[in-house]
A and B are shown apart, each in its own frame.
Chain A
């Protein structure tokens, strides 16, 4: 850096804040070489509005019906503004929280709205009301009542509250939590800065359930996913950091930390200059010093209460906020409390001993390490060679982080980096895995996941099927080695079943893999007996076998699907609440119906199609908002309608077809940008139109054919499904033409048929020899002949 450069920078900083005329004056006073530079930089500066900047909402910006006044807070999950809603009569000031991270999938948006409605129903004097919320450009916002006041810990200090007053306040916090827990809602981010006391001295818990809603933005990601959760270390329970399931006891732990801080002024998991290692030890291993040793005069029973809430093992804590509140009440009333003073140290230590591996390299450290270039972990490998840690990292990346990232738009690059780092790591570990079947089976599963993420045909993937297949092959090799070393080990057999099934689903659809999976699943059942997981794996393996055989048009596919169906049926009877199992039964039936159709077994076709749609319709009834359930029901009903037609039961066929079309309408309504949904309705409309023509209801036939035509036209303009667009369009034109000709509207009808014939010809040129084109053209020619005959008359 030169002196000149420094001077330029200083002068720029000085001048940039001045009004234009003063700027001009000051500029003239500068030496020339400085002046030219500063002047051109100032000129550039005028263009930099929005350049490289974050899109923060500025005062005056409208968010939905609200107008932002000023920023009042900022945290891991978003920015909070003071905002107002101006209606005709009144003006209301609110707190508006704009969530960071955007949602684009319509399904996510719907879920967000649904969850928000649940939250809006929570009404409790100590919980800040959620008034409203919405989405704007994929950005979610929440509107809450605005609280004037401050955090509870601050309030305790400012008002110099005595012990009983503090406990009273804390009881109110517990009351709010108890109410929420009764409504099955966890807070999950219960830090002191989220618990306020307003000017009237009333406790108000902020941000209730928002963590949950935000966290659960995607249908496919479970509530317990924690790899990407916003974790405030000052309120995080061990299970939250570790990434296992959160329960009411997790909120109880946070309450314990809060009470600790309200009593002693310190949070054991917080402090200036707290090193990562120390923090992790505090969260996972060390019990905090008893509050009475930090502050004299606190009763021993209170120590017992706080420490019971802060047990590392969730099962040893109070089961709910209500139980904790009850003990506080008893203490205040001079009754004996339920918490038992410190003989529990011993047990607590035992719990830790059991979970030692978990504490080793924490999940959080591992995650950070991946992003920072995996150096941390590599070091751990070199120095410690701890396979457990390796396994944890792999699981974290593959099962938590990776799927979690999928829901962020534009995360492709980051996902790839994560995967590359993980694969690099996997490879270095694989070299050490020889002779360790446990590690080999884990690694094999990890490689399957890698293959899936990179290029599985049935999943959102990164479009690199070639590399994906390489990983699948590596998985095959590793699992083969594990099987050789431990051929009767139940765990190896379990993972091997999953690996071979995975190979089939994610890029290597070879019958031998599926059959191997079946064989292994059966062997495992023999080794370990009838457990549900083993059965489910067996079902999956049969299903995979069915899929492979079907690709090769092998008639034995029917057999495999039937067996898969039997297994799933057995499981579904045991777990009637599990919709996935019933859906699997329906899927096997759907495929069996198709095979029956191909083989000309009409009655089987009808029987399977009917049963499949009964199951799918029941699932839809139970879960009416699920797009998957809607799609399933629409598909199976469509197939049933076809089956009824084939069996000459057209009357029932028409009503079934109508049900299918109604559901397809609902799908498109819920997800208007979804091309598949649009195409689905267009084809459903056309099939329905066809049936209506045959039953003589020409008016409704016309209506549905016209809509089909409109939707197909839209798709063509949107550039979607262009491969067969001409065929699709021509088919509908031909049908509509037929309906019109039947209704004696020859002009438009015959013109449409002529257009259709031209369309078939174009499609034929593009994809010569397509059977469907030839068949459809024949139908159109019949109508064409009718047109000619009519004109001849």
Chain B
């Protein structure tokens, strides 16, 4: 799993007593964090890709630390594009993925954030994963 995601989770989300305190803008913050993390990871991946092709290899060794933390099989850029495709079809399900994967929220936290039941989030999550997997594995899809 992504260390960076864990990082956001660890470093920032726990500033809030998650089970009890609610404050205005919390949804907004988590949302922003998810988007930010997604952007960071994608940029990171793009840059690494460029470096591999020969340009600007200056930062490479430091990025290795991150590479280790990435799921080896998963191409972040492809995932990003796949999530974008999903968002075109179904923005709500894409949002669940963003919150779960990029902000590292649990099912319960995501549910609380979106104001739906945990079982609904679980259902959406299972579905979105299957859809994304199929898209990334390259067999079919709409």
Contact = CB atoms under 8 A, between A and B. Distances in A.
A136 to B, nearest CB: 15
A9 B89 CA distance: 12
A55 B5 CA distance: 12
Contact of B15 (A13, A40, A364): A364
B7 A231 contact: no
A192 B131 CA distance: 43
A228 B123 contact: no
Contacts, number: 171
Given A40-B140, A372-B36, A12 B100 contact: no
A380 interface: no
Contacts of A45: 126, 129-130, 133
A13 B125 CA distance: 10
B68 to A, nearest CB: 7
A44 B40 contact: no
Given A5-B90, A52-B97, A228-B11, A13 B123 contact: yes
Given A52-B101, A279-B23, A417-B40, A41 B127 contact: yes
Interface string B62-106: 110110110000000000000000000110010001001100101
Interface string A547-569: 00000000000000000000000
Contact of B21 (A47, A234, A410): A234
Contacts of B22: 272-274
Contact of A410 (B3, B28, B130): B3
A231 B15 contact: yes
Interface string B123-142: 10011011111100101101
Contacts of B41: 413
A276 interface: yes
B130 A41 contact: yes
Interface residues of B, number: 63
Nearest to A417: B40
Interface in B1-48: 1-4, 6-25, 28-29, 32-33, 36, 40-41, 43-44
A101 interface: yes
A270 B20 contact: yes
Nearest to A46: B130
Interface in A389-415: 401, 404-405, 408-414
Interface string A1-44: 10001000100110010000000000000000000010011111
Given A100-B9, A412-B63, A463-B62, A368 B29 contact: yes
B24 A276 contact: yes
B38 to A, nearest CB: 11
Contacts of A54: 1, 104, 106
Contacts of A1: 89-90
Nearest to B134: A44
A566 B106 CA distance: 58
Nearest to B9: A100
A443 B22 CA distance: 35
A77 interface: yes
30 contacts: A9-B90, A12-B127, A13-B123, A16-B126, A41-B131, A44-B130, A44-B137, A44-B139, A45-B130, A54-B104, A54-B106, A74-B106, A100-B9, A231-B17, A232-B17, A233-B16, A233-B21, A234-B17, A272-B22, A274-B22, A276-B24, A368-B12, A373-B32, A405-B7, A408-B6, A408-B7, A411-B7, A412-B63, A413-B41, A463-B61
Interface of A: 1, 5, 9, 12-13, 16, 37, 40-45, 47-48, 51-55, 74-77, 100-102, 191, 228, 230-234, 269-276, 279, 364, 367-368, 371-373, 401, 404-405, 408-414, 417, 462-464
Given A41-B131, A76-B14, 11 more contacts: A51-B133, A54-B1, A233-B20, A233-B21, A279-B21, A367-B15, A408-B11, A410-B4, A410-B7, A410-B65, A463-B62
